[in-house]
């Protein structure tokens, strides 16, 4: 378990919440996980929380029943009707900062127990449809603005390509507390710390364990086998919760530990 003292701030970060199964699992497991990891703050990527695509007022309401402080998003951010209003008006929601001319904010500062934490959301380019501003220039802007307020800076890098994520990590190491990847729903085992910056290529997902990355099995097989443009919705069932716990030195903003979390709903 991560170390905890007066100068340590522990952040739990959970990967893409996939449908009702992921929302339900967090609702019933998050309190225990916060105690287990001595967590001060919880960040969750909620961009697949409504049936696997986007965030809605309904899925946002489910997530708000959990002790979550920040919700990050990704390529499906604006997919649901009305999402633009929630993203614009709810300060706990961050959409990727490098989206062009859309509502909402891509970074902000949150104060938890007297500690200010800067959080940012960046959309990467490789392997995902959509036109976004340069992730590297966007990261520079986020770091420049947040570092004026706090040394603790956490960034969700939402993207398909591990090479691009790791390149961004190497570009930012020593300047932020953590860069954690989302989007693929598959947890990687490459967590590390360099120059005080914690990194993992993908934290995984929160969704049905017996699924294809949270989605319906038969539809996923058909899409892969027949190359059909099949719509795949998130499925119900016992869930798995994937994420990380990052421990940060409050004074310096340097990470001292990163630990993967992979827990089934029955545990």
Which active-site residues does the annotation give? Answer: 76
Chain-centroid distance of CA 246 in Å reads 13
Token pair belonging to 111 = 């104060």
What are residue 126's phi and psi, to 5 degrees?
Answer: -70, 130
Q: How many other CB atoms are found less than 10 A from the CB of residue 179?
A: 27
Check: CB of residue 214 under 8 Å from CB of residue 22: yes
* Count of helix runs (H) and strand runs (E) in the chain: 6, 14
Give CA separation, 72 vs 14, 20, 42, 92, 121, in Å. 10, 17, 11, 8, 6
d(CA 6, CA 8): 6
Give CA separation, 111 vs 69, 107, 119, in Å. 10, 13, 11
Q: What is the 3-state composition of the chain as percent helix, strand, coil, each rounded to the nearest 5?
A: 25, 30, 45
The angle at the Cα of 71, spanning 186 to 20, to the nearest 5 degrees, equals 65
């Amino acid at each position: 378990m991560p170390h905890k003292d007066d100068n340590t701030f522990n952040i739990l970060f959970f990967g893409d919440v996939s449908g009702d199964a992921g929302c339900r699992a967090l609702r019933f497991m998050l309190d225990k996980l916060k105690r287990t990891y001595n967590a001060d703050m919880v960040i969750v990527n909620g961009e697949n929380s409504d049936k696997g695509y986007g965030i809605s007022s309904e899925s946002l309401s489910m997530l708000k029943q959990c002790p979550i402080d920040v919700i990050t998003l990704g390529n499906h951010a604006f997919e649901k009707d009305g999402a633009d209003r929630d993203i614009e008006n709810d300060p706990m929601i961050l959409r990727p900062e490098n989206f062009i001319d859309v509502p909402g904010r891509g970074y902000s500062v949150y104060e938890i127990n007297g500690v200010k934490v800067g959080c940012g959301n960046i959309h990467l380019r490789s392997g995902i449809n959509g036109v976004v501003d340069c992730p590297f220039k966007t990261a520079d802007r986020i770091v420049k603005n947040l570092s004026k307020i706090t040394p603790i800076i956490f960034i969700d890098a939402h993207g398909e390509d591990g090479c691009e994520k790791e390149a961004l990590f190497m570009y930012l190491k020593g300047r932020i507390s953590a860069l954690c990847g989302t989007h693929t729903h598959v947890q990687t085992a490459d967590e590390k710390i360099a120059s005080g910056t914690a990194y993992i290529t993908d934290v995984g997902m929160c969704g049905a364990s017996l699924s294809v990355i949270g989605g319906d099995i038969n539809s996923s097989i058909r899409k892969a086998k027949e190359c059909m443009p099949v719509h795949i919705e998130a499925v119900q069932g016992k869930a798995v919760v994937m994420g990380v716990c990052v421990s940060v030195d409050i004074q310096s903003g340097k990470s001292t530990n990163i630990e993967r979390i992979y827990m089934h709903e029955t545990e």
